[in-house]
Amino acid sequence: MSSGNIALLEQTLARAKAENRAALVGYLPAGFPTVDGGIAACTALLESGCDVVEVGLPHSDPVMDGPVIQTADTIALQGGVRIADVIRTVREAHAATGKPVLIMTYWNPVDRYGAERFAEELAAAGGAGCILPDLPVEESDGWRKAAERAGLATVFVVAPSSRDARLARITEAGSGFVYAASLMGVTGTRESVGAEARELVSRVRAGADLPVCVGLGVSTPAQAAEVATFADGVIVGSAFVKRLLAAEDLQSGLADVRELATALAESVRR
Amino acid sequence: MPSDYFIPDPEGHSPNVAGYFGAFGGKFIPEALVAAVDEVAAEYEKAKADPAFAAELDELLVDYTGRPSALTEVKRFAEHAGGARVFLKREDLNHTGSHKINNVLGQALLTKRMGKPRVIAETGAGQHGVATATACALFGLECTIYMGEIDTERQALNVARMRMLGAEVVPVTSGSRTLKDAINEAFRDWVANVDRTHYLFGTVAGPHPFPQIVRDFHRVIGVEARRQILQRTGRLPDAVAACVGGGSNAIGLFHAFLPDTDVRIVGFEAAGHGVDSGEHAATLTAGEPGILHGSRSYVLQDDEGQITEPYSISAGLDYPGIGPEHAYLKDSGRGEYRPVTDEAAMRALRLLSETEGIIPAIESAHALAGALDLGRELGPESLVLVNLSGRGDKDMDTAARYFGLYDGEDQK
């Protein structure tokens, strides 16, 4: 039985707090633009200032994602990405940097693969946890048992529409950190971060000790700096994906995401 | 006064508290939608207990929709069905041309009760979209319809109808550009606009409570048909038949017959170019349990849980999922589900048109093709009841191309 890196995730978030800054959490889908290119990009994020990376397991029907991540998922799936490739992405990005790496995906691929097998393989690869935004807490018992046995965090997403009683139930069941959606909507870059995010973070904090990281729509250093004033972590995804999509080749794409990660890492210092 | 038309699920056929019919159903939705879905469930429970709700819906179903819909015996068509008697439940004669209006009027009233000014919906063949646009015009609601780009092309008439009714139609260009992707896009809209928007789900799939709500609003089909056939023939049919995509017209017909254990319940799903060809939408024949669009049911998927692209000539059946109650009926053995190819469906469409003067929707033609086989199996004097879920006007371009009916073409 292998043990995943939930403790590494917890220590990483605690260290950021001790350094009086928010943690920077990056997101990129595996297999995008290729499996090896995705590994290089995830590693680049961790080397350039991200404290944590979420590796997306691409899905045919990403209902929580906007057009940017949908496009990347489609490219990855057309390239033939498999779950073994996603696990390898976690393994190599973690091995190269020693930093915590999670998987973010939809429930059907994990359910179909087998929750226990998935958790085992993710833990064996050095993974720290999993985020499953369409698996509500009521349906999560089987997954959480498997994750706990494998030493993995189960990160739940909460939304501005979540009522306090549900927030309490979700944070009670979750581990690692709480993913607070900054607004009501799908992933993608936005002009501004809503006031809803600050209020949601304070409502979560009122009932739980878990760190709270804010994502959805955060793309610029200025937005990250704003979120860092009230949250334990800042999650950026679509802005990285956009840079890779726009780049002429992988090398310039990697340079672009490194540049953004560096600027964001600077901005989350309070 | 008890309602004639709104007769929600009797005891023993409700999903459990978590929304499951046996192993199927549930509520696999992002946290952002939990509050809205719970609100729909709570409002529906209140509406069910409110006689004024049933009274208002009854009045609409009679004066606006034109219920009860006719039951038509099709003798010349039945000559091709091995001597069986065949009856059609004429949901095609409802206002807007299909069964979809039954559910739409019910949910539009719920929308008003919740105080939401905007409605969104997905549509495949456009029948649900047209019905939704119709109800929104009637009630003064804003309306946005998501429709796969391929479907906007093959059902262009319905796109024009929706726009005529004042709805915004958004062609969806992601994925397979059909019904599945329209539902994905509607969910994305709902998450972003849930405060003022009701997602008027069009089939008996999706997260709990939609499979139950949509089913309850369509139960009227079977309740009427059962009464009519008893009156007409003095007995129950040997089999009831309907096409299944998501499964709303089928569950509507089947439900009143579930306790009649001598009545066979048979759903016909789209086999496209044949189940073995890989180009089909035969979810219960070739799918496996999985999660799509908020519930656990049978799903067309690969070995790693990626949803595979379905195919059918019929836009309304071109869907890789199926309502969870159908999955339950299949596994429990109460329901049978069989595949029908494009070719068989198109032959049945032409046969009904030429023998009875009724042009069915291509969706419904799958059930007609299945009924011909059922009649031959059941033999002379048997009685088969088929749900004619929609009329075929919308499909004339597809059918004209298929059979070469335009001037200058060779008729097939």
Rounded to whole angstroms, how far apart are CA atoms A22 and A247?
28
Query: Per-residue pLDDT tens for A197-212?
Result: 999 999 999 988 999 9
> Which chain B residues are closer than 8 Å to A159 by Cβ?
30-32, 34
Residue A2, pLDDT above cutoff 90 = no
- Tell me the pTM: 0.96
CATH number of the domain encompassing residue B245: 3.40.50.1100
pLDDT of residue B329: 98
**Helical segments of chain A, H only:** 6-18, 35-47, 67-78, 83-97, 107-113, 115-124, 141-149, 164-173, 195-207, 221-228, 238-246, 250-267
Of A83, A166, A186, the CB nearest to B191: A186
Residues B72 and B33 in one domain: no
Residues B307 and B318 in one domain: yes
The reply to whether B10 falls in a domain is no
Are A184 and B290 an interchain contact pair (Cβ–Cβ within 8 Å)? no
Of B18, B191, B290, the CB nearest to A138: B18
Residues B47 and B74 in one domain: no
pLDDT of residue B412: 77
Mean pLDDT of chain B: 96
The reply to whether B187 falls in a domain is yes
Asked if A159 reaches chain B (Cβ–Cβ under 8 Å), the answer is: yes
Cα B309–chain centre separation: 20
The C-alpha torsion from B345 through B350 and B352 to B358, rounded to 10°, is 110
High-pLDDT (> 90) share of chain B, %: 93
pLDDT, mean of residues A129-150: 97
> Which helix H or strand E contains B227, and what residues bound it?
helix B210-233
Residue B346, pLDDT above cutoff 80 = yes
DSSP single-letter state for residue A138: G
Rounded to whole angstroms, how far apart are CA atoms B123 and B18?
27
The reply to whether B280 falls in a domain is yes
pLDDT of residue A184: 86
| Band of residue B12 on the pLDDT scale cut at 50, 70, 90 | low
Nearest to B81 by CA among B362, B386, B378: B378
Residues B178 and B248 in one domain: no
Rounded to whole angstroms, how far apart are CA atoms B271 and B97?
24
The reply to whether B9 falls in a domain is no
Q: Are A269 and A262 in contact (CB under 8 A)?
A: no
> Which chain A residues are closer than 8 Å to B30 by Cβ?
63-64, 133-134, 157, 159
A131: which strand partners? A104, A155
Residue B13, pLDDT above cutoff 80 = no
Rounded to whole angstroms, how far apart are CA atoms B110 and B133?
16
The reply to whether B8 falls in a domain is no
Nearest to A126 by CA among A87, A159, A161: A87
- The phi, psi pair for B244, rounded to 5°, reads -130, 125
Residues B129 and B190 in one domain: yes
Residues B109 and B135 in one domain: yes
Residues B46 and B148 in one domain: yes
- Report how far apart, in Å, the C-alpha atoms of A182 and of each of A107, A153, B194 are: 22, 21, 15
Rounded to whole angstroms, how far apart are CA atoms B13 and A17?
53
* Residue where a domain terminates, one of B210, B244, B278: B210
* Residue where a domain terminates, one of B156, B184, B210: B210
Residues B202 and B304 in one domain: no
pLDDT of residue B154: 86
Q: Which two tokens stand for residue A85?
A: 């490739």
pLDDT, mean of residues A87-97: 98
Query: Per-residue pLDDT tens for A16-33?
Result: 999 999 999 999 999 999
The reply to whether B271 falls in a domain is yes
What total of structural domains would you count in chain B? 2
The residues near A109 (Cβ < 8 Å, ≥ 6 apart) are A57, A59, A83, B304, B305, B306
Q: Which of B43, B91, B122, B325 is catalytic?
A: B122
Residues B125 and B178 in one domain: yes
Q: Which two tokens stand for residue A1?
A: 């039985």
Q: Are B303 and B38 in contact (CB under 8 A)?
A: no
> Which helix H or strand E contains B34, and what residues bound it?
helix B31-48
Query: Per-residue pLDDT tens for B206-244?
Result: 999 999 999 999 999 999 999 999 999 999 999 999 999
The reply to whether B114 falls in a domain is yes
Query: Per-residue pLDDT tens for B178-210?
Result: 999 999 999 999 999 999 999 999 999 999 999
> Which chain A residues are closer than 8 Å to B292 by Cβ?
61, 108
Mean pLDDT of chain A: 96
Residues B148 and B51 in one domain: yes
Residue A94, pLDDT above cutoff 90 = yes
Residue B389 falls in the annotated catalytic set: yes
The reply to whether B48 falls in a domain is yes
Query: Per-residue pLDDT tens for B100-155?
Result: 999 999 999 999 999 999 999 999 999 999 999 999 999 999 999 999 999 999 89
pLDDT of residue A256: 98
Domain that includes residue B391, residue range: 68-97+219-403
The CATH fold of domain A6-152+221-265: TIM Barrel (3.20.20)
Q: Which of B27, B89, B100, B116 is catalytic?
A: B100
pLDDT-wise least confident of B98-107, B187-196, B325-334, B403-412: B403-412
Nearest to A9 by CA among A39, A43, A46: A46
- The phi, psi pair for B99, rounded to 5°, reads -65, -20
pLDDT, mean of residues A257-263: 98
* Residue where a domain terminates, one of B190, B210, B230: B210
Q: Are A269 and A20 in contact (CB under 8 A)?
A: yes
Residues B364 and B243 in one domain: yes
pLDDT of residue A1: 56
pLDDT of residue A119: 98
Domains of chain A, residue spans = 6-152+221-265
Residues B172 and B286 in one domain: no
High-pLDDT (> 70) share of chain A, %: 99
- From B192's Cα to the closest Cα of chain A, the distance in A is 4
> Which chain A residues are closer than 8 Å to B194 by Cβ?
161, 184
